[in-house]
Amino acid sequence: MGDNRKAPAYAQLAETLKGRILRDEYRTGEMLAPAREIEREFGVSAITVRKAMNILAREGYINPRQGVGTIVMKRPEQMVELELTGNFWNWADSALTRNLETQTHVLDMEIVPCPQQIADLLLLRAETPIWRLKRIRTVNGEPASYIVNYTSPGWLDGVEKELFTVQPFFDVFREHSRIKVASVQQRVRATVADIDLSGKLAIDFGDPVFLVENTYLDDSQTPVAASRLHFRSDRYVYKTTISF
């Protein structure tokens, strides 16, 4: 295999075989090539092949059967499209994945010292008390996104955290704060999962994720709230339309 020092050989092999399955080079229901053939093709050890197979089996792409062989079990893709348009509601509707079975779980809701990166977005001093909400959204029972919202402590007084399991933060914020949000500034970038994030999203350390940062502005263009959303890159894909 290539000398890619950013990922161990077994992870590279697993991703390569997964790609072949998804491209139908290995068809569903067919037998995967024997381990020795894979060792020879990629120039790797038996241990490397075994680790890669364990990953594919755990993710549901193959079904090893003792005495029979390894059967390809291509999983149906359940990628959620996040539509990039100038209309926030188009993006919000797609992000909420209303066409799939979703659930939202609140991890905590509390007043904390404002972290520097959020203070920069909201034009506050670091360590200023800030209201913070942490949630996990699952798609078909599997963690798909980790969401953290921030705003002024006074604007959501009396709101119970259970409300955020059934309503989006944006809806609750508008209703209870009585603030008219005039625009949303959004930044999207790729990052990787650290130990904390990988545990919340049930992925491996170092796996790629999308980070979406939203800053909500009122009529005077003053920041009033901020959100940080981490999306699993194997569950979401960004979509846009370019007109000519």
**Res 23 pLDDT > 80:** no
Beta carbons within 10 angstroms of residue 157's beta carbon: 10
Helix 9-22 to helix 35-42 angle, to the nearest 10 degrees? 110
Q: Which two tokens stand for residue 134?
A: 């942490």
Asked if residues 48 and 78 have their Cβ atoms less than 8 Å apart, the reply is no
Where is average pLDDT lowest: 83-92, 141-150, 185-194? Answer: 83-92
Question: Helix/strand/coil (H, E, C) string of 86-114?
Answer: CCHHHHHHHHCCCCCCEEEEEEEEEEEEC
Residue 133 has pLDDT above 70, yes or no: yes
pLDDT in tens, 90-107: 555 455 555 567 899 999
Tell me the C-alpha distance between 102 and 123, whole Å.
34
- 80-239 topology per CATH: Chorismate lyase (3.40.1410)
pLDDT band at 77 (very low <50, low <70, confident <90, very high): low
Domain residues of the chain, as ranges?
9-72, 80-239
Domains 9-72 and 80-239 share a fold: no
Return mean pLDDT, the chain. Answer: 84
Average pLDDT, integer, range 145-155: 93
- Fold of the CATH domain 9-72: Arc Repressor Mutant, subunit A (1.10.10)
> What is the pLDDT, as a whole number, of residue 146?
93
How many CB atoms sit inside 10 A of residue 109's CB? 18
